[in-house]
Amino acid sequence: MIPCVRRSGALCLLLLAALPVHAARVQLVDAGKLDGHPANRRGAIARYAEPRGEILAGGRRLTASRDTGQQLRWERVYPEGPLYAPVTGFSSQTYGTTMVEDAADAVLSGTDPALASLPLWHELSRGRPTGADVSTTVEPAMQRAAYTGLGGKRGAVVAVEPATGRILTLVSSPSYDPGQLSGTGPSVRAAWDRLTSQPTQPMLNRAIRQTYPPGSAFKIVTAAAALDAGVVTDVDAPTGTPSPYPLPGTRTRLPDAAEGCGGASLAYAIQWSCNTVLAHLGTRVGLAGMRDAVARFGFNDPGLRIPSPVVPSNFDTRMSADQLALSSIGQFNTTATPLQMALVAAAVANGGELRPPYLVDRVTAHGGTRAVSHPRQRPPRRVMSPLTARLLAGLMVGVVERGTGSAAALPHATVGGKTGTAQHGLGNSGVPYAWFISFARAHGSARPAVAVAVVVEDADAVRGHISGGGNAAPVARAVMAAALREQDLLRERDLLRKRDVRRPGAGAGGRR
């Protein structure tokens, strides 16, 4: 009996020793695999056990959370969903996250280590801090003006503050309600199927995820390259370009829609959008010069994030002389996002210096009681000389005051712009896209209030009636007007604040 008892005891001891070894293996070796297993719902339950932090614009909440009482307890709600969908994106228990909901997911969900007031406390307690709030740079009045201006037509509007790079407007149309995708179940799957199958693609963020041929709006980039390279030294001097212009190495002749373009100056060509002059200037700058110029503006950059990734705008780096001529007027393979073209206008308005764009202004603990972070911005870069920027700004003002962009004019403000009608499709058979890029500076102000890019792709319009000046410029005008009103309100608040400080008895100890 004694040997049997001993063997039984040894086996029991071995089993007891195997238990912590097995537990350690599960905890240390297999933990990652088990956490990611589709059948493990603990992560999802913990993720939705607390409401997410809020996304804000101008102090206004763009999001909220609803207690469902279910296992995945808190669902996302979007009070003004379609208006801000290109900014917020969606947070779905079924389909994940997009846009700011995705880029700032760690702070919104409370998993970012920076949110913990005591290091390692939440790791030990297996809890998580309350999600932080993310304030965006979007101005609500400008956002609504852009959304209303598009009126449901397919297109996009982007507005930036030239001196800072703050994205003030980010609109894509048609839009959708992100709240329809928040939860789980048949209704959410049906909403996903409906939204993803519509030919108008309401979930496509046209402002940063769609590129278009920029057409004549791109002529500002070509003009900047020609001025910086010394190909043009006097904007009012004749260029000697024939109209129509024979594309180099071909028998094809490039026509002009405007009159008087034969031999026209750069100033006239920008004012009336002469294809021939800018195509000729592009070939004179040369492929290497144009390639360097567009790179400074941000074309062909796959790394741009705002913080969501932006698809690269394209300018071919290898092409023949005739292809370069077409590319120089925004045709051939040249494509751009509306954000990229807003940056073109912003660089001109800001004296040739381009501030990298950003959409997230700051992150604060829930309720705004403690600043968690201010996203670090990249340094500005010079894309053209100050003289070139000043000349181009004057030419763009001429487009609005005396040329094709008169629909964008505003009282009490200096407005510069450039129209564009971009051909596309096989044999240019597609309905053209209408572009308008612009900037506005209030009279008496030292710096521009806003730079705007608008693109309208309206398949219901009569082909001959589509133009940047007729379709896109009025939308840009409404956005610029809203920006100027916002600037006036800020100026009035600053004056009132200074007046309060200067009141008798409001010295160092009397300030409130």
Q: Rounded to whole angstroms, how far apart are CA atoms 32 and 26?
A: 9
CA distances (Å), origin 363, targets 55, 87, 169, 246, 268? 9, 16, 19, 56, 48
Provide the 10 A C-beta neighbour count for residue 73.
Answer: 16
Whether residue 232 contacts residue 291, with contact meaning beta carbons closer than 8 Å, is answered with no
Q: Is 173 a catalytic residue?
A: no
Which residue type occupies 100? V
Q: If DSSP states are collapsed to H, E and C, what string results for 37-78?
A: CCCCCHHHHHHCCCCCCCEEECCEECCEEEECCCCCCEEEEC
- Residue 234, Cβ neighbours under 10 Å: how many? 11
What's the residue count for the chain? 512
**SS3 (DSSP) at 419:** strand
Round to the nearest angstrom and report the end-to-end CA distance of the chain: 91
Catalytic pick among 92, 135, 216, 467: 216
Give the integer Cα–Cα distance in Å for 121 and 415.
Answer: 55
**Spatial CA neighbour of 330 closest among 407, 236, 435:** 435
Three-state secondary structure call for residue 275: helix
Q: CA 270, CA 392: separation in Å to the nearest integer?
A: 9
Known catalytic residues? 216
